[in-house]
Amino acid sequence: MADWRDVLLVDGYNMIGGWPFLAKLANSSMHEARDMLLEKLADYQAYSGLRVVVIFDAYRVPGLGKSYTQGKVQVFFTKEKETADECIERLVGEFSHRRRKIYVATSDLIEQHVIFARGALRLSARELLNEVEQSEREVKRKITKEQTKSRNTLDGKLPPDVRQMFERWRRE
């Protein structure tokens, strides 16, 4: 069965540089910054239902051209001599379908003018961060709202951190 979900393509290193807490973390550990970005985007994917694809320039890590899935987020490392912008342009071509919207989260507006001319929608690093934070607030609000339920129910007896873990599993 074909996957007709809307797609969010994320330039990973642009987001790491554009999200202040990740940029600060990247100064000490780029690996941890990448992992935190993928974790945040996995939670956002579960909340939004979008197909999330994160692209990293492979010149910063070994294993050129590899891809894998972490949670429900697809991760691509570009091929040798391919930039993240070129990879995103290639993926937009692969994902294009008239029933699907494609969002591209990047800070490289000029480099991506071709895909935006094809109809892809742009999200800046700040806009994506705002959406991710909003989804986190909504999930927390839902969890705390459900805490007011009767203590006689099973979910009323669970601590908030366990309820949050179950909510994450339910969305996956």
Report whether pLDDT(68) > 80: yes
CA distances from 43 to 54, 112, 138 (A): 14, 26, 12
Return left, alpha or beta for 49; rule: phi > 0 is left, psi -120 to 50 is alpha, else beta.
Answer: left
DSSP letter for 150, please.
Answer: -
- Supply 8's token pair: 């969010």
pLDDT at 10 over 90: yes
Strand partners, 102: 7
- More confident site: 55 or 143: 55
- Name the token pair of 153: 């129910």
pTM of the entire structure?
A: 0.78
